[in-house]
Amino acid sequence: MEYEDARKITALAQEEKRKQAIRLSKQGWQYKKISKVVGVHFETVGKWVRLYRSQGMKGIQARKQGPSFGNRCLLNTDQEQVIKKMIIDQVPEQLKMPYALCLMDT
């Protein structure tokens, strides 16, 4: 069976899959059957059910994805500012980059 890559769907869509799995589990469905309907591995279904039993809906709710701001940064704030200035003041060719750059407000 081929599974859908959950990283490519929204957090709310992931939560809906979890809720569907919980509903089917409450109806007595086996994890392997649920996994085929929901499109995830049966061990994932078991993990969701355990989370639901121990934490309730909070355990399967959608969460903000990705690292938190400032977490795992390799540059300090001063270094970030230097790089931002370089990007703003120069074009990609001047920086020997083969592609365009864009800044994200943080």
pLDDT, tens digit (0-9, with 9 covering 90-100), for 45-83: 999 999 999 999 999 998 877 666 666 778 888 988 888
Average pLDDT score over residue span 18-23: 96
52 and 30 part of one domain: yes
Q: How confident is the model at residue 98 (pLDDT cuts 50, 70, 90)?
A: confident
> What per-residue confidence (pLDDT) applies to 100?
67
14 and 56 part of one domain: yes
Q: What is the tally of structural domains in the chain?
A: 2
Q: Is the per-residue pLDDT at 102 higher than 70?
A: no
CB atoms within 10 A of CB 21: 25
Domain housing 82:
73-106
66 belongs to a structural domain: no
CB crowding 50-61: b at 16 or more within 10 Å, else e = ebbeeeeeebbe
Question: Residue 100: in which H helix or E strand, if any?
Answer: none
34 belongs to a structural domain: yes
pTM: 0.61
78 and 54 part of one domain: no
41 belongs to a structural domain: yes
